Each structure stands twice: as structure tokens, then as C-alpha cells.
Amino acid sequence: MTKARVIETNNGLQGELITKEYDNIMRESRDKGHLYTEEIIKIGITNGKALEIGLGPGYIGLEWLKKTSGTTLTGLDISPDMMKMAEKNAADYGFFNERVKYQVKTPKNCLSKIILLMLFLLMLHCTNGKTRYPH
């Protein structure tokens, strides 16, 4: 028998302080090479359009764009505060309004895509049994 899902949040990470702190954590992970961008490229996702759901500050998708050419990214997140941070980071990378578009969306708007992406990310997360990015 399955248990009902325990909802952690319907709003995502909110507030300037929490958003900045999470951005710092993810930036440090990026700088140490702990994002799984290389794994995404190794499995052949190297061209076309990508959809990133729950993008946080956006570093995974932005690093993927940096390492590919002719690619575009649409990012969805439920947190308006995190979306603003992702837009700032995309502008810092020089991609905002060029190769990146972000939208605030709730899980109800894209549930089937979220499930598929979560399965994909779980597969990457379990590679070699090592966690390579912060939770």
C-alpha cells in the first residue's frame, strides 16, 4: 500500500535570504564541479530545446547551455523569488532572453513532465551511488 505524498511546499524556496543562501550553495557546487552537467551531455543531450523543472538558481541548465551550442532552455519553478535569481544568473552568463526563458509554474500545470524529469534526475543522482549535488 502506498502512502499519501507529504507536501513539503507549494511555494518553493521563498524570501530573499533563503534564495541567496541556496544560490550560494549551488554556485559553490558549480565551482567545485559537482553539478551533473557532464552526465547530461554524456548521455547525448547536446542539442535542441530543453525543459528544466524546479531549476532553483538555474546553474545546471546554464552550465549545460555553456557547454553546448544551438541549444535553448525553458525553465519552470514555483518560486517567484528563485525565478528572479535564475534570471539574474542567466543574465550573468549572457543567455537571458537569448537562449533562456523562465516561467513561474505550479506542479499542477505540468505534472506529467515533472514525473518524467524526476525519474531522469533520480537516475543521474544514483549514478555510482554518489550524491554529487546538495539537496
Instruction: Report the alpha-carbon distance of residue 54 to residue 41 in Å, rounded.
Output: 19
Instruction: Give the span between the Cα atoms of 100 and 74, in whole angstroms.
Output: 6
pLDDT at residue number 105: 76
Domain membership of residue 105 as a residue range: 35-125
Q: Convert the pLDDT of each residue in 51-73 to its tens digit.
A: 888 889 999 999 999 999 999 99
| 49, part of any domain | yes
Question: Is position 121 within any domain?
Answer: yes
Question: What per-residue confidence (pLDDT) applies to 132?
Answer: 47
Please count the structural domains in the chain.
1
Q: Residue 72 in 3-state DSSP?
A: strand
Residue 6 domain-assigned (yes or no): no
| CATH at 76 | 3.40.50.150
Assigned domain for 100 exists: yes
Q: Is residue 78 a part of any domain in this protein?
A: yes
pLDDT score recorded for residue 6: 65
Q: What angle in degrees, to the nearest 10, is found between the helix axes of 59-66 and 80-93? A: 20
State percent of the chain over pLDDT 90: 36
The whole-number pLDDT of residue 129 equals: 47
Evaluate if residue 123 carries a pLDDT over 60.
no
What is the reported pLDDT for 131? 45
Reported as a pLDDT band with limits 50, 70 and 90, residue 29 is very high
> With 80 as the cut, is the pLDDT of residue 130 above it?
no
The answer for 58, left when phi > 0, alpha when psi is -120 to 50, beta otherwise, is left
Q: Which residue did the predictor score with more confidence, 101 or 117?
A: 101
